[in-house]
Structure 1
Amino acid sequence: MSSRPPLSYHAAGVDIDAGNALVERIKPLAQSTRRPGVLGGLGGFGGLFEVPKGFREPVMVSGTDGVGTKLLLALEAGRHDGIGIDLVGMCVNDILVAGAEPLWFLDYYACGRLRVDVAEQVIAGIAEGCRQAHCALLGGETAEMPGMYSGDHYDLAGFAVGIVEKSEILTGARCQEGDAVIGIASSGPHSNGYSLIRKILARSNADLQGLVNGQPLVNALLAPTRIYVRAINALRAALPVHALAHITGGGLVENLPRSLPAHLAAEIDAGNWERPAIFRWLQEQGSVSDAEMWRVFNGGVGMVAIVPWGSREDAQKILEDAGERAYQIGRLIPRGEGPGVRILA
């Protein structure tokens, strides 16, 4: 028999006790997101959710996403409280575009070494995002994988499921020439373009605590993704919404055409809203072209709603009453042979 000491999972770098401690800490966080339909609690092998009553032809809508290299900036800054909100926002805003009401959310947290305090901060942010979206944090998975991630690095993925009446699915088919394009403000870059952002930070040797328009640069860059569920629900309850578009990587120029029929384009007047100062700073520090800025970032608009032209002022007021900043940024025009989005300087 070998004289070497016996090996254990802990010696291999996996702390089962830490994982169990994390589960106990996050149970109240999951409980705080509970909504009608949840069956059981956290800790089972699968989350249970009862299909809501009242639907004639319910259609389930699902979406998954991460937060990309924004995680590296959060790690550098030691700020983990908002990244979970980003994770939820990127998923629920996507399924919202189909007209779905988010029902539940699952998260996946992977790391090389489980730091319970950090993981708890991240999952507290996920719970806050779920509360904003009125969906349940139904479960998740924490994976400690020594050798896969270096140092204190971790990664996140999220999965959202929602429901919509089949007849109310938003496909863009209702869009008409002359419809109004309503832009709903973002909080900043949300979770897109951070590989370019980090390159700009490195080239400019920027101080993350330096001020941009009166606030620390790090605050502007780590501002959590806006979650538009409640505002869009209020809008759809009040007037016809012909289409929605979540403005993520690709910006207005690539995301908005995905929600429009092939024969229509959006004519956007960039002078109808003020881009947040962080975008001006990034463009100046990185010498980034206008075309690249529009193609990479949301430009200050995180969600777009297409509504009848005659409803544009009501739509703007409803969104603002729901706590968002909204702008009349354009209208739909015949597409012809041109691009799906035409931005007027």
Structure 2
Amino acid sequence: MTPSGTYEAAGVALDAMEGLKDRIKAFAGITHGPQVLDGGGGFAGLFALDAIDEPVLVASTDGVGTKLKIAAQLGHFEGVGQDLVTLNVNDILTKGARPLFFLDYVSFSVLDEHRLEMLMRGIVWGCREVGCALIGGETAQLPGVYSDADFDLAGFVVGIASRSQLLDGSAVKPGDRLIGIPSSGVHTNGFSLVRHVFGVDEDPTVLHRRVPGLNRNLGDELMVRHRAYHPLLAPYLPQMKALSHITGGGLPGKVPAVLPPDVAAEFRLGSWAIPPIFGAVQQAGGISDAEMYRVFNMGLGMVAVCDAAGADAVLQGVPDAVDVGQIVGRADEARAIFRNA
């Protein structure tokens, strides 16, 4: 019997945590190159910067939201580990940066070594996909903060860009074209609404069933990975004036955020394919078109703003890129306009 006056009796397994450190260090080492100066451990990671012209560090932090609930109900954790890296790297990509290093934060109520190992595998796979080093992180036990089955997951990425190559949208003007890069599905935003309309919390077995319009089980569809855009788009950043990662807020919220105040984004509805999952969500919840576009990516994970020559280069080089609209002068309060093709 564990004595009552110990940390373990309070719900924190220090011995188990210590035993995990070497395994986590080994996972991280898979992502290391010569720029990582310390193999891990201690209080901080060390990373040697490249000598580039006018270097600017670009940083982002985010989590995967309530997609964690779906992952826990299905027991699929590698995917959300990869998602964590992907979505943060996608964010710094919008500034024209390449990722350097990544740190993770995982917190449990009750330490689950199997779950942690799967998460770490996913994080390592995500880092390797984008050429990013995992140089540190934190695994915490917070008994009483979460229920026994719940956990939280957050990530932090630092990248680098030359000041002259930063994407800031300042050169965007009417006549520039909007080039959309398709999403792989819901990605990591809107899951609270998805869970609500399908009643997932009340009846998790719905995740193992097919719903109208889908060719696979709902859970399999929802766990599709957030698409990684850095390997695909990095070669074409010089052809772009602005780049938007379509996450919470959707096209109406995220594209205007990278535009000058005197222009608007005009989208041609029907010019890109909307994955069936969005129709299934809309039908299940009786959701308006406006709300769908405000919450979800609706099939576009990234939108680039390019001049004519840049647009042609991206369309020719990125296999599934689509011309989805143009930049117009702003006539009223609307920053995003949707017109039928």
TM-score normalised by L of structure 2:
0.94
Q: Matched residue of 1:8: which SS?
A: coil
253-262 vs 331-340, which moves further = 331-340
State the distance in 1 between where 2:100 and 2:287 align: 39
Q: Matched residue of 2:134: which SS?
A: strand
2:76 aligned partner: 79
Aligned counterpart for 2:168 among listed residues 164, 171, 194:
171
250-259 vs 12-21, which moves further = 12-21
State the distance in 1 between where 2:88 and 2:161 align: 16
State the distance in 2 between where 1:162 and 1:327 align: 27
1:17 aligned partner: 15
CA contact (8 A) 2:64 2:80 kept: yes
1:337 CA drift (Å)? 1.4
2:226 aligned partner: 225
- In structure 2, relative to structure 1, the CA distance for the partners of 1:311 and 1:98 (3 Å cut) is closer
Q: Matched residue of 2:314: which SS?
A: helix
Question: Aligned residues: percent identity?
Answer: 43
Deviations 1:51-94, CA, capped at 9 Å, x for gaps: 112x1211111111111111111111111111111111221111
Q: Matched residue of 2:279: which SS?
A: helix
Q: Matched residue of 2:154: which SS?
A: strand
1:146 CA drift (Å)? 1.2
Code of the aligned partner of 1:333: V
State the distance in 2 between where 1:179 and 1:131 align: 34
CA contact (8 A) 2:240 2:310 kept: no
Aligned counterpart for 1:336 among listed residues 314, 320, 331:
331
State the distance in 2 between where 1:303 and 1:75 align: 28
1:274 CA drift (Å)? 1.1
State the distance in 2 between where 1:344 and 1:18 align: 57
Which sections of structure 2, spanning at least 5 residues, go unmatched? Answer: none
Matches within 5 A, 1:70-219: 70-202=67-199, 207-211=206-210, 212-219=213-220
Deviations 1:110-136, CA, capped at 9 Å, x for gaps: 111111110110111111111122111
1:277 CA drift (Å)? 0.6
1:261 aligned partner: 260
CA contact (8 A) 2:45 2:135 kept: yes
CA contact (8 A) 2:239 2:314 kept: no
State the distance in 2 between where 1:180 and 1:159 align: 32
CA contact (8 A) 1:184 1:327 kept: yes
Q: Matched residue of 2:270: which SS?
A: helix
- In structure 2, relative to structure 1, the CA distance for the partners of 1:277 and 1:6 (3 Å cut) is closer
The answer to whether the aligner puts 1:292 opposite 2:291 as a matched pair is: yes
1:317 aligned partner: 316
State the distance in 1 between where 2:221 and 2:179 align: 24
Code of the aligned partner of 2:50: P
Matches within 5 A, 1:29-40: 29-40=27-38
39-48 vs 20-29, which moves further = 20-29
1:6 CA drift (Å)? 5.6
1:36 CA drift (Å)? 4.2
Deviations 1:139-190, CA, capped at 9 Å, x for gaps: 1000011111111211011111011111111110121221111111111111
1:294 CA drift (Å)? 0.3
2:61 aligned partner: 64
State the distance in 1 between where 2:155 and 2:32 align: 17
The answer to whether the aligner puts 1:274 opposite 2:269 as a matched pair is: no
CA contact (8 A) 1:35 1:135 kept: no
Tell me how many residue pairs correspond in the alignment: 335
CA contact (8 A) 1:103 1:163 kept: yes
State the distance in 2 between where 1:311 and 1:12 align: 59
Deviations 1:263-320, CA, capped at 9 Å, x for gaps: 1111111211110010010000010000000000000111111111233232123122
Q: Matched residue of 1:175: which SS?
A: coil
Aligned counterpart for 1:50 among listed residues 48, 51, 55:
48
1:258 CA drift (Å)? 0.6
1:23 CA drift (Å)? 2.0
State the distance in 2 between where 1:301 and 1:41 align: 38
State the distance in 1 between where 2:39 and 2:95 align: 29
State the distance in 1 between where 2:315 and 2:33 align: 29
Aligned alpha-carbon RMSD (Å): 1.7
State the distance in 2 between where 1:185 and 1:27 align: 35
State the distance in 2 between where 1:82 and 1:341 align: 32
1:20 CA drift (Å)? 2.2
279-288 vs 329-338, which moves further = 329-338
Which sections of structure 1, spanning at least 5 residues, go unmatched? Answer: none
